[in-house]
A and B are shown apart, each in its own frame.
Chain A
Amino acid sequence: MSLNASSRSAPPAMSFSFHRPGSLDAAIAFAREQGDAARFLAGGTDLIIQINRGRVAPRHLISLDGLGLDRIDEAATEYAIGAMVTHDAVVNHPGFQTNLVALAQASAVVGGRQVRNIATVGGNIVNASPAADLVPVLLALDATVDLRGLNGTRSMPLDRFLVERGRTERRPEEILTAVRFDKPPAASATWFLKAGRRKAMEISVICVAAQLVRGGKARIAIGAAASRTVRVPDAEVLVERQGAAAFREAGRIAADAVAPIDDVRASARYRKLLVAALVERALVACAGRIERGEA
């Protein structure tokens, strides 16, 4: 194989056929038939690059476009974000600007505008990248995922859905249709912080999401610090008991709880320092927003 510049634009080694099923059930049935040879296509911002790099070689791509999964539904007590909702739509959703602002903050730093305009919430979750920016926020909201398969829909907590880097509880023919979470009470806040090597267009070196409910629960979730996005229950309980006095300690507990890796973007030691600092900062931000009534 030649290594000259033009080889970069060569088509992928193996081609695939493109399918546009008329319904979710048709998509599921076809995926079941094809097994490992098929992949669902959402925005494709991850999958197409993986195919072009030769990392995966599906024989069939099953488009999830046009199947009604691109809505954000607001019910009396919960939100349901359809799997095909883009990061851009999350950034601009009026319901995600106050006590759910962490959703908009996280989606706002996924790639550049061109990526956010097409990349989806479902793709971010199913990819199961430990650095997926929206996932810590959804974990901090105790989100539930809906998986539609051959026998209808089953639901499970996102925390259980995520197994490890690149692995979830999803069966090959199952479509993630939506991610749901309860509407938080008025006196509550969320916050998301991301550290990368530069301000924009950067995969997280560490990302942190927190939710605080006045007189109620605390949630802390961390991305890019272990083989999957994790919550830190010990730190959450401490904050629930002791409030602001425990914010710094919660950061320390979180840094001890994670197992980050050394890689080209940051050392494990630096990542732990970031976890401690960002967890404390996210909690302080939440408390401040509740205090000032911005929540």
Chain B
Amino acid sequence: MTRQALDLTINGESHQLMVEPHWSLLHVLRRELGMTGTKENCLEAECGVCTVLLDGKAVNSCILLAEQARGRSIVTIEGLGDPEHLHPLQAAFIEHGAVQCGYCIPGMILTAKSFLDERHGRVPSEAEVREALSGTLCRCTGYQKIVDAVIAAARQMNSWPEAARKA
């Protein structure tokens, strides 16, 4: 037991934790903080259900040590809108029926968000969306509705002013 103090910034809030050096960020989110929106499955960066944003970029939290997130900004699905104020991606997923069991959806939405944010509002092609989501597996939907939802959200976000898009 050699726990070390670690401050993590998650969804804009600072959390003071005592962590084992080998704990993954996923472990800290789910077991230490009870933030179970981030899912766990393969634990080897193959399935993408554990995806979170690290300084805005999608990463697999299952193989990221919590220590590697020190001093950086983490966003989880809990930080992306709420039932009254859905993020355009969340609204589009609902509207397009892109959710079945839901297990892959937090990772799917965050993967899509990092992809769309990097493109500064340019609406992607279907092929580009499929490639962007290739590290995030869905065993239910067959992907078509997910892809449609991401493109629809991109169109909507594209119509936002620059400042609102970054939020």
Contact = CB atoms under 8 A, between A and B. Distances in A.
Contact of B48 (A11, A18, A114): A114
Interface string A34-70: 0000000100110011011000000001010100000
Contacts of B35: none
Classify chain B: how many residues form its interface, as a range. Answer: 20 to 34
Contact of A16 (B22, B43, B48): B22
Contacts of A16: 21-22
Contacts, number: 91
Most buried by B among A44, A52, A63, A117: A117
B64 A44 contact: yes
Nearest to A52: B43
A292 interface: no
A117 B57 contact: yes
Nearest to B22: A15
Contacts of B65: 18, 41, 44, 48, 61
B43 A9 contact: yes
Interface string B47-86: 0100100100111100111011010000000000000000
B51 to A, nearest CB: 6
A48 B60 CA distance: 12
B27 to A, nearest CB: 8
Nearest to A115: B45
Interface string A5-24: 00011011001111010000
Given A63-B67, A114-B58, 14 more contacts: A9-B40, A11-B27, A16-B22, A18-B4, A44-B68, A45-B63, A48-B64, A49-B44, A49-B63, A52-B44, A112-B136, A113-B111, A113-B134, A114-B59
Interface of A: 8-9, 11-12, 15-18, 20, 41, 44-45, 48-49, 51-52, 61, 63, 65, 88, 111-115, 117-118, 199-201
